[in-house]
Amino acid sequence: MSERVLVGPVEALPEGGQTQVSVEGVSVVVVQFEGQFYALRNNCTHKDYPLLGGEVSAGRITCEKHGARFELATGKPRALPAVKPVRVYRTEVEAGQLYVCPL
Ligand code: FES
């Protein structure tokens, strides 16, 4: 079974914050949006550009390269030019620490 990966203390990722961790050798972007933590593969499915640093609004993250948008909760594409979903990961909070778990 895959191990969960420690992101850090929850206070280190405030509302609207983003960070990046490596899960099984894959870069994953972790976001807090409206009090929830989300984790998605840090690669746009259009041309692989990193999603880290993209604008987050309305539950979606925007790829800065060409403007594709993905749902934080599901990874589903909601704006072209991306048509494939981004892989999502589960997040867990335990004893004040945030973790990302492969699904
Ligand atoms: S690489 Fe993300 S929209 Fe093109």
CATH number of the domain bearing residue 62: 2.102.10.10
Closest protein CA for atom 1 of ligand 1:
47
Quick one: which of 94, 79, 98 has its CA closest to 28?
Answer: 98
- pLDDT tens for 53-80 read 999 999 999 999 999 999 999 999 999 9
Residue of 40, 51, 63 best suited for mutating to test ligand 1, as the one with most atoms within 8 Å of CB = 63
pLDDT at 1: 57
Is the sign of the CA dihedral 21, 24, 26, 29 positive or negative? Answer: negative
Quick one: which of 66, 94, 95 has its CA closest to 79?
Answer: 66
Ligand 1 contact, 90 CB (< 6 A): no
Model pTM greater than 0.85? yes
Given a cut of 60, is residue 45 above it in pLDDT?
A: yes
pLDDT at 3: 86
User: How much is the mean pLDDT over the chain?
Assistant: 96
Given the structure tokens 């079974």, which residue do they identify? 1
Q: Which domain holds residue 31?
A: 5-101
Q: How many separate domains does the chain show?
A: 1
Ligand 1 atom with minimal separation from the 44 CA? 2
Ligand 1 atom with minimal separation from the 47 CA? 1
Ligand 1 contact, 78 CB (< 6 A): no
